């Protein structure tokens, strides 16, 4: 019944408004004030989901969804999550389910190869990959490792002097992670970028900013560079930035949350130029890679830096395998101890579609975004704000209410940003079911 329900949901999805049209507080009025004492039949529950829940859903899987970034599902991703939930194991350490840990090795090495990551990031080299929930966790873990590495040199009392860098386009996940990690907000440098240079962080600006901080007695610790920023999919120049961070012994993390997946296509690989010089690299397979939420892939060159900061070893988790140091205990690579068997869904996606198809799916999305951008360019009421890098177009229109009107129609859902004072409509193609006709209709 549940599988049929979900199949019907996908069948009917285009009939629902993409952006939910309910009002705040709508649901509490429709549901009882307390849990039932006795069981309710699944028919009643499914009825309520159809009547009460679906109207309150914003349909991220709709072919008319062009908002934020995609969170693309697929049959294989879905089935992988179902298997993971069926097994329902807690792979916190190796012994608690060796297959969960070892399949993660294998899958992360496969995917790392697909991206052309150097051997130094793979288990077959001296690095390794780990599946986190989201980019927020990946940034937090690497930032904590970077913080502790630096404080080990300069003394823990200097935590208030650590400076962390990004551009004014860097995702807010960096500032959030820094706040959690106990760093000072005032020590965040959101270095200015410009439309004229496609909102890239320039190495020159970074160097100038760092010099001023060092002169002021502060300690540069961490740079988050981005491949595919949220506002405009800008790509920071990894190689030249890494040359600057190297001078100062800083950690450099590459956040390729959205655009990392495109780098499995050789024609996008150049955006990763210089990646061999960075400390860590992450992208979300649950964004534009057909794997259901959540699945953030993080590779690090020095797993020891992560585990030094994140390890715990209470008596009740001790076991011979861990003591032997022959195994990886992923609990020490992440914020949480418990972890789901996420690698199996990523493995199903890779095997069910194969590398060539995955590349082609992404290329089709890019082609649709290109098509949309051409349509925009052909109409002088609109302007393209920055050149398209991947499958997202950035559009300026004289009427700010246009976006709200479109979203209120329920026929499409797009979101906005503001860059250099320009109000921009973002049009991100990537929902698995989107076809040419949806893009034309959206236009």
Q: Which of 18, 131, 183, 369 binds its own copies (CB under 8 A)?
A: 183
CB 162 within 8 A of CB 227: no
Answer for which of 17, 59, 221, 425 binds its own copies (CB under 8 A) is 59
Tell me how far apart the alpha carbons of residues 327 and 29 are, in angstroms, rounded to a whole number. 52
Among 14, 50, 90, 371, binds its own copies (CB under 8 A): 90
Interaction between residue 103 and its own copies (CB under 8 A): yes
- Check residue 73 for interaction with its own copies (CB under 8 A): yes
Reading phi first (left if > 0) and then psi (alpha if -120 to 50, else beta), residue 68 is in: left
Does position 279 bind its own copies by CB under 8 A?
no
Cβ(46)–Cβ(5) below 8 Å = yes
Q: Is 182 in the site for its own copies (CB under 8 A)?
A: yes
The reply to whether 120 sits near its own copies by the rule CB under 8 A is no
The residues facing 190 across adjacent strands are: 166
Separation of alpha carbons 336 and 319, rounded Å: 19
Contacts of 206 (CB under 8 A, 6+ apart): 165, 191, 223, 241, 244, 245
Which range in 34-42, 195-203, 218-226, 386-394 contacts its own copies by CB under 8 A?
34-42
> CA 317, CA 133: separation in Å to the nearest integer?
22
Residue 86 lies near its own copies (rule: CB under 8 A): yes
Tokens 């609990």 correspond to: 331
Is residue 255 a contact point for its own copies (CB under 8 A)?
no
Q: Which of 18, 63, 66, 100 binds its own copies (CB under 8 A)?
A: 100
Q: Is 126 in contact with 120 (CB distance < 8 Å)?
A: yes
CB 344 to its own copies: min, Å: 7
User: Minimum distance from CB of 312 to its own copies (Å)?
Assistant: 4
Contacting residue, 144, 146, 224, 278, with its own copies by CB under 8 A: 144
Closest CA to 336 of 355, 312, 360: 312
Ranges within 355-384 binding its own copies (CB under 8 A): 355-357
Closest contact distance (angstroms) between CB of 380 and its own copies is 26
Helix (H, G, I), strand (E, B) or coil at 155: coil
Q: How far apart are CA 236 and CA 271, in angstroms?
A: 8
Work out whether 163 is an interface residue with its own copies (CB under 8 A).
no
Examine residue 216 and tell whether it contacts its own copies (CB under 8 A).
no
Q: Give yes or no for residue 179 binding its own copies (CB under 8 A).
A: yes
Q: Are 64 and 19 in contact (CB under 8 A)?
A: no
- The b/e string for 160-170 (b: 16+ C-beta within 10 A; e otherwise) is ebbbbbbbbbb
Choice from 12, 22, 267, 440 touching its own copies (CB under 8 A): 22
Cβ count near 58 (within 10 Å): 16
- Binding segment for its own copies (CB under 8 A), chosen from 29-37, 246-254, 266-274, 298-306, is 29-37
* Least distance to its own copies, CB of residue 205, Å: 20
Residue numbers 291-320 binding its own copies by CB under 8 A: 292-294, 309-310, 312-318, 320
Which CB, 184 or 243, lies closer to its own copies? 184
Task: Select from 106-114, 236-244, 246-254, 364-372 the region that touches its own copies (CB under 8 A).
Answer: 106-114
CA nearest 257: which of 279, 241, 235?
235
Total residues contacting its own copies by CB under 8 A comes to 133
Residues from 408 through 427 that contact its own copies (CB under 8 A): 415-418, 426
Sheet with 382-384, edge to edge strand ranges: 382-384, 392-397, 422-428, 415-419
The stretch near its own copies (CB under 8 A) out of 207-215, 343-351, 383-391, 434-442 is: 343-351
């Amino acid at each position: 019944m549940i599988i049929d329900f979900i199949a019907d949901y996908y069948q009917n999805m285009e009939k629902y408004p993409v952006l939910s049209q309910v009002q705040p507080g709508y649901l509490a009025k429709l549901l009882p004030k307390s849990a039932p004492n006795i069981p309710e039949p699944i028919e009643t529950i499914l009825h309520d989901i159809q009547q009460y829940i679906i109207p309150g859903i914003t349909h991220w899987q709709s072919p008319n969804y062009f908002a934020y970034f995609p969170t693309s599902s697929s049959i294989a991703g879905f089935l992988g999550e179902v298997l993971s939930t069926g097994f329902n194991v807690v792979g916190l350490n190796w012994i608690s389910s060796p297959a969960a840990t070892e399949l993660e090795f294998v899958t992360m090495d496969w995917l790392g190869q697909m991206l052309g990551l150097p051997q130094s990031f793979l288990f077959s080299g001296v690095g390794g990959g780990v599946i986190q929930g989201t980019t927020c966790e990946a940034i937090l873990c690497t930032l904590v490792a970077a913080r502790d590495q630096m404080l080990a040199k300069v003394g823990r009392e200097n935590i208030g002097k650590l400076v962390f860098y990004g551009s004014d386009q860097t995702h807010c996940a960096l500032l959030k992670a820094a706040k959690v990690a106990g760093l000072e907000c005032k020590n965040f440098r959101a270095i200015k970028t410009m439309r004229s240079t496609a909102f890239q962080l320039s190495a020159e600006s970074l160097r100038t900013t760092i010099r001023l901080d060092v002169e002021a007695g502060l300690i540069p610790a961490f740079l988050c560079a981005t491949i595919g920023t949220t506002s405009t999919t800008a790509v920071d120049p990894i190689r030249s930035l890494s040359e600057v961070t190297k001078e100062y012994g800083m950690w450099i993390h590459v956040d390729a949350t959205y655009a990392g997946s495109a780098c499995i296509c050789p024609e996008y690989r150049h955006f990763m130029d210089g990646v061999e010089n960075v400390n860590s690299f992450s992208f979300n397979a649950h964004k534009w890679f057909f794997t259901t939420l959540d699945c953030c892939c993080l590779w690090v060159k020095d797993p020891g830096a992560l585990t030094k900061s994140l390890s715990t070893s209470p008596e009740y988790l001790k076991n011979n395998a861990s003591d032997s140091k022959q195994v990886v205990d992923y609990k020490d690579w992440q914020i949480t101890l418990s972890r789901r068997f996420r690698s199996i869904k990523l493995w199903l996606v890779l095997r069910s579609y194969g590398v060539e198809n995955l590349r082609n799916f992404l290329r089709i999305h890019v082609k649709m975004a290109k098509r949309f951008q051409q349509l925009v360019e052909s109409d002088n009421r609109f302007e393209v704000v920055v050149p398209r890098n991947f499958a997202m177009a950035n559009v300026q229109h004289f009427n700010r209410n246009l976006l709200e009107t479109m979203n209120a129609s329920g026929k499409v859902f797009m979101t906005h940003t503001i860059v250099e004072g320009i109000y921009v409509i973002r049009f991100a193609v990537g929902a698995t079911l989107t076809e040419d006709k949806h893009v034309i209709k959206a236009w």
